[in-house]
Amino acid sequence: MENLVEIRDLKVEATTDSGRRVDIIKAVSLDIAPGEIVALIGESGSGKTTIALTLMGYTRSGCRICGGQVRIAGKDMVTLSERERAGIRGTQVAYVPQSAAAAFNPAMRIIDQVIEISRIHQLMPDGRARLKAIDLFRALSLPNPETIGSRYPHQVSGGQLQRLSAAMALIGDPKLVIFDEPTTALDVTTQIEVLRAFKAVMKKGGISGVYVSHDLAVVAQIADRIVVLRNGEVQEAGTTAEILTCAQHPYTRELLAAFEPKPRDHEIGVEDRKVLLEVSDLVSGYGPIQADGLPLVQAVKDVSLTVKKGRNLGIIGESGCGKSTLARTIAGILPAYSGNLLFDNRELAGTVRQRSRDQLRDMQIVFQYADTALNPEKSIEEILGRPLQFYHGLKGKQRDTRIDQLLDMVHLPKSLRHRRPQELSGGQKQRVNFARALAAEPKLIICDEITSALDTVVAAAIINLLKELQRELSLSYIFISHDLSVVEAICDEIVVMYGGRKVEEITPAQLKAPQHPYSKLLFSSVPKLDPAWLDALELDPELVRTYGHT
Amino acid sequence: MTPSVTLAQKFGYRFSWVGMIGLSIMLLWGIMALIAPNIIPHPVGEIVDEDYFGAISSRFWLGSDYLGRDMLSRILMGARYTVGISLAAVSIACFSGVVLGMTAAVVGGWFDAAVSRFLDAMNSIPGKLSGLVVVAAVGSSITVLIVTLAVIYTPGAYRFARALAVNINTMDYITVARTRGEGLVYIIGSEILPNIIGPVLADLGLRFVFIVLLLSGLSFLGLGVQPPYADWGALVHENVGGLPFGAPAVIVPSLAIASLTISVNLLIDNLPQKIRDRSA
């Protein structure tokens, strides 16, 4: 059978701001048979999205296809004119973007945007297109398929919007659909529904797909073949089963190894550790204060928890469950409306201004996005030097030696100290971000989703670093994440939050048997590497109705 | 290889040639203002030409004015007033505007509201009108001119800086600095200012142009720099009678004002990417 897609020796180059030319795709070749779903997997910057976009004859601004062929059903997208390409886009090749929320026009009804492709290409009358869209909504198991199209994008949930954008892609009966990390921005419980819907529709229509992702477990559920990319080159390609069971290339093995559960080695014995932080009945939120003295939006409701010295507490929950608000309230960035904070047996004031400098020093917070947490106009040296000077009064040579020590602690070369944050990779930035917290010599570090923006392999390295530093410096962490495997790897106790409340507190040993129904749903929704996992998974429909957002 | 490329290699900045022309004209006027007393061919106040509104000649390069004084000397000395007063006024306006703007963005709450409303009210008074009123009330001196011009242009600088600083203020690194316990001065000086300095400098240039034009306008109306001193606006004013004769004495100071303001605009529009897009 002839291949639908044949990419031969594809080369893409980018021109940097200083006019330098960089090859970002170096002679990549791959084939996709009709009805086959191929996953492109790799870390950020590996060129996976760039390759996917060339299938539409498109490159991002500043990039250029400088060699090779991209043949789709016999036509070479590289040599076609822009007009001919436009004719193919939407009818033969369609694209599902990462963030559906950003891809929909908020001022237009969904249905009008979904049938836009048929209108542009004059495929069918609007009435028929609408009926077809409703069929697609039904096939993608969207609720109220007849009426959901008449809503506006902000009136449906993120998971629904992602499926609606798939409907938009499928309306022109394309032969190939490109999925660009379509579930990365979704919660695990929502991700399952979306993945299931995609899989069913693609199989039914016999449509080929390109699935771009960095998450091997997600890819394992949906792809027939996997292509592993790194630095714009194909590292390894094979069927899903081959890649998962007998990967040859070291990078693929590294990716797989990052999925291996790494249970935390428990120190046995010292059970009567001192309590470091005690939070009781904390209420916090946003918006104007109501008549009852509570804020308009209560993001955290009556949460109590304790962190013991040298132990780690994980807080897990989906987006919007109040876990970040909780962290910010503990750190004093947001005021608590009621409840008590006890740190080191001393009452902790509600806001940063009322806390003593030592209290501030003892508790540091590390944010998710190192890009926004590090001032782009300052060198690494200035970023790390400031807390040293501010808290410890270090100057000159003492300060310089300490900066070197800190860089050493987070395994960064000393040569980085004069660089600016934007010259560093994502993982390096996160290490600097963490080193800044260490500079204060705190007792407790609050880590707010610090691995979520990182690639699997890099995130695993950061987690190892955190563990190592804990052994050396007897730190405690509050580790906030939506990723169960990360929390599991580092925490002694896990708090599950839902809708601003703490629903359960569990130890990793009990992970296999959580008690609360939401915890059960959450824990069973985490994708596993086993390709048959999604098909075999049976979720209690009652639970999904109560806690899911689909 | 053109000189701009070697400059680019040296500093990492890339100037377009239009920007270079703007910069050169601006620098030229700046240098002239500095060294004017040493290079003027004739004393400014002395009547040296028998003819009034004299034409361009080898003795009087730019002709003579309505009393027969040397125009070149008067223009060169006028540069001191036009450039000097405008520079002083724009520095005060931008300094106070930017500091207030950043403070309002960081402090927020009632301080922000009070300062913003007050300066908005100031902004709603037309600049030329309030200038006229102040000069009519307290009389015209160089100090009064500088302070008036600075006050007129502070609200604009405040709005601009506040808008930029509000965006930076939401960044996590500001939150980190706050949780560290940093004070206001450190946050606005070390965390926010380096991130908005590029646009703020561009705004400073633009505001400089506005002030030059307003000062020239006031002087043209006879309310600016007073005789025996004369800035370019005053030179246009006192020689306006030469217009029917096509005297260079009225055209040259106008050209001087135009060349300065246009060159600053050219420079701002062609600032190197690295400076202009720093906040991006």
Instruction: Read off the pLDDT band of B242 (50, 70, 90).
Output: confident
User: Is residue A186 situated within a structural domain?
Assistant: yes
pLDDT of residue A461: 85
Give the number of other Cβ atoms within 10 Å of residue A488's Cβ: 20
pLDDT at B211 over 70: yes
Using one digit for the tens of pLDDT, what is the confidence trace for A26-64?
888 888 988 899 999 887 778 888 888 888 888 887 788
> Cis omega (within 30 of 0) on the bond before B3?
no
Q: What residues form DSSP beta bridges with A307?
A: A277
Instruction: Select from A360, A372, A387 the Cβ nearest to the Cβ of B172.
Output: A372
pLDDT at B128 over 70: yes
Residues A126 and A215 in one domain: yes
**Residue with token string 């009804």:** A109
Q: In Å, what is the CA distance from A3 to each residue of A38, A67, A72, A208, A469?
A: 12, 20, 9, 10, 52
**Chain B touched by A352 (CB under 8 Å):** yes
Contact between A226 and A42 under an 8 Å Cβ cutoff? The reply is no
Nearest-CA distance from A377 to chain B in Å?
6
**Chain B touched by A15 (CB under 8 Å):** no
Residues A492 and A349 in one domain: yes
Distance CA A434, CA A411 (A): 11
Shortest CA distance from A367: residue in chain B: B172
DSSP letter string, B217-252: HHHHTT-SSPTTS--HHHHHHHTGGGGGGT-HHHHH
Instruction: Select from A357, A369, A386 the Cβ nearest to the Cβ of B172.
Output: A369
pLDDT at B9 over 50: no
pLDDT at B152 over 90: yes
Q: In Å, what is the CA distance from A364 to each residue of A313, A316, A360, A403?
A: 15, 19, 7, 17
pLDDT of residue A289: 77
Instruction: Select from A373, A378, A387 the Cβ nearest to the Cβ of B180.
Output: A387
pLDDT of residue A264: 58
B195:A436 CB<8 A: no
A365:B182 CB<8 A: no
pTM score, whole prediction: 0.78
A375:B191 CB<8 A: yes
Those residues of chain A that have pLDDT short of 50 are 268-269, 550
CATH number of the domain to which A245 belongs = 3.40.50.300
B278:A387 CB<8 A: no
**Chain B touched by A369 (CB under 8 Å):** yes
Torsion-angle region of A500 (φ positive above 0: left; ψ -120 to 50: alpha; else: beta): left
Residues A310 and A249 in one domain: no
Instruction: Select from B173, B180, B195 the Cβ nearest to the Cβ of A373.
Output: B173
DSSP letter string, A411-458: T--GGGGGS-GGGS-HHHHHHHHHHHHHHT--SEEEEESTTTTS-HHH
Question: Which chain A residues are Cβ-neighbours of B181 within 8 angstroms?
Answer: 352, 355, 357, 360, 390
Burial (CB count within 10 angstroms: exposed 0-12, middle 13-18, buried 19+), residue B56? middle
User: Is residue A333 situated within a structural domain?
Assistant: yes
A360:B180 CB<8 A: yes
pLDDT at B115 over 90: yes
Distance CA B62, CA A483 (A): 78
Using one digit for the tens of pLDDT, what is the confidence trace for A401-413?
999 999 988 888 8
Give the number of other Cβ atoms within 10 Å of residue A395's Cβ: 11
DSSP letter string, B190-221: IIIHHHHHHHHHHHHHHHHHHHHHHHHHHHHT
pLDDT of residue A548: 63
Instruction: Read off the pLDDT band of B8 (50, 70, 90).
Output: very low
Sign of CA dihedral A443, A449, A455, A456: positive
User: Is residue A269 situated within a structural domain?
Assistant: no
Contact between A201 and A170 under an 8 Å Cβ cutoff? The reply is yes
pLDDT of residue B24: 92
> What does the angle CA A329 – CA A334 – CA A336 come to, to the nearest 5 degrees?
60
Q: Reduced to 3 DSSP states, what percent helix, strand and coil does chain A have, rounded to the nearest 5?
A: 40, 25, 35
User: Is residue A541 situated within a structural domain?
Assistant: no
- Six-digit token pair at A471? 């052994």
Distance CA A482, CA A323 (A): 9
pLDDT at B246 over 50: yes
Last residue of a domain, one of A225, A257, A289: A257
What DSSP designation does A267 have?
P
User: Is residue A123 situated within a structural domain?
Assistant: yes
pLDDT of residue A268: 45
Using one digit for the tens of pLDDT, what is the confidence trace for B250-274?
889 999 999 999 998 888 888 765 5
Instruction: Select from B172, B175, B179 the Cβ nearest to the Cβ of A360.
Output: B179
The total number of structural domains in chain A stands at: 2
**Chain B touched by A364 (CB under 8 Å):** yes
Contacts of B251 (CB under 8 A, 6+ apart): none
pLDDT of residue B177: 92
Last residue of a domain, one of A227, A257, A287: A257
pLDDT of residue A549: 57
Residues A249 and A298 in one domain: no
CA-only gyration radius of chain B, Å = 22
Contact between A293 and A339 under an 8 Å Cβ cutoff? The reply is no
The mean pLDDT of chain B is: 85
Instruction: Select from B173, B181, B182 the Cβ nearest to the Cβ of A375.
Output: B173
A387:B179 CB<8 A: no
pLDDT of residue A345: 84
Instruction: Select from A18, A352, A374 the Cβ nearest to the Cβ of B181.
Output: A352
pLDDT at B208 over 60: yes
**Chain B touched by A421 (CB under 8 Å):** no
Give the number of other Cβ atoms within 10 Å of residue B280's Cβ: 7
DSSP letter string, A209-237: EEEEES-HHHHHHH-SEEEEEETTEEEEE
Q: CA torsion angle for A282, A287, A291, A294 (degrees, to 10)?
A: 0
User: Is residue A13 situated within a structural domain?
Assistant: yes
Residues A252 and A286 in one domain: no
Using one digit for the tens of pLDDT, what is the confidence trace for B87-113?
999 999 999 999 999 999 999 889 999
Mean pLDDT of all residues in B122-150: 89
pLDDT of residue A133: 92
Residue from A372, A375, A422, A446 whose CB has the most chain B CBs within 10 Å, to mutate: A375
Last residue of a domain, one of A224, A257, A290: A257
Residues A249 and A351 in one domain: no
* Residue A512 main-chain phi, psi, to 5 deg: -65, -20
pLDDT of residue B273: 58
Nearest to A89 by CA among A148, A19, A175, A18: A175
Contact between A72 and A52 under an 8 Å Cβ cutoff? The reply is no
Residues A229 and A349 in one domain: no
Nearest-CA distance from A171 to chain B in Å?
37
Nearest-CA distance from B176 to chain A in Å?
7
B173:A357 CB<8 A: no
Instruction: Select from A333, A355, A386 the Cβ nearest to the Cβ of B175.
Output: A333
Nearest to A329 by CA among A303, A357, A309: A303
Nearest to A362 by CA among A348, A379, A381: A348
pLDDT of residue B184: 92
> What does the angle CA A432 – CA A436 – CA A442 come to, to the nearest 5 degrees?
140
**Residue with token string 């090859």:** A23
Contact between B120 and B155 under an 8 Å Cβ cutoff? The reply is yes
What CATH class has B3-276? mainly alpha
Residues A281 and A137 in one domain: no
Question: Which chain A residues are Cβ-neighbours of B176 within 8 angstroms?
Answer: 365, 367, 373, 436
pLDDT of residue A203: 86
B173:A355 CB<8 A: no
What type of residue is A519? Answer: S
Residue from A17, A374, A377, A436 whose CB has the most chain B CBs within 10 Å, to mutate: A377
Across A84-104, b (16+ Cβ under 10 Å) vs e yields ebeebbbbbbbbbbbbbbebb
What DSSP designation does A89 have?
B
What type of residue is A402? Answer: R
Nearest to B221 by CA among B202, B237, B201: B237
A373:B273 CB<8 A: no
Residues A252 and A332 in one domain: no
User: Is residue A350 situated within a structural domain?
Assistant: yes
Distance CA B251, CA B235 (A): 10
Question: Which chain A residues are Cβ-neighbours of B194 within 8 angstroms?
Answer: 375, 377-378
Residues A285 and A155 in one domain: no
Residues A90 and A228 in one domain: yes
Contacts 24+ apart (CB under 8 A), A241-244: A241/A531, A244/A216, A244/A220, A244/A529, A244/A531
| Residue A315 lies in domain | 275-528
* Residue A360 main-chain phi, psi, to 5 deg: -65, -40
**Chain B touched by A367 (CB under 8 Å):** yes
Q: In Å, what is the CA distance from B54 to each residue of B7, B61, B73, B242, B246?
A: 44, 10, 14, 10, 10
Shortest CA distance from B14: residue in chain A: A18
Instruction: Select from A364, A377, A440 the Cβ nearest to the Cβ of B195.
Output: A377
Distance CA A283, CA A368 (A): 23
pLDDT of residue B2: 39
pLDDT of residue A263: 59
Distance CA A533, CA A259 (A): 15
3-state secondary structure of A354: helix
Chain B residues within 8 Å of chain A (Cβ atoms): 12, 171-173, 175-176, 178-182, 190-191, 194-195, 273, 278
Residues A316 and A225 in one domain: no
Using one digit for the tens of pLDDT, what is the confidence trace for A492-503?
888 988 888 888
Shortest CA distance from A448: residue in chain B: B172
Instruction: Select from A352, A373, A378 the Cβ nearest to the Cβ of B172.
Output: A373
- Six-digit token pair at A431? 């290490």
**Chain B touched by A175 (CB under 8 Å):** no
What type of residue is A99? Answer: S
Q: CB pairs below 8 Å between A and B: how many?
A: 50
Question: Which chain A residues are Cβ-neighbours of B182 within 8 angstroms?
Answer: 390
**Chain B touched by A62 (CB under 8 Å):** no
User: Is residue A483 situated within a structural domain?
Assistant: yes
Question: Which chain A residues are Cβ-neighbours of B172 within 8 angstroms?
Answer: 367, 369, 372-373
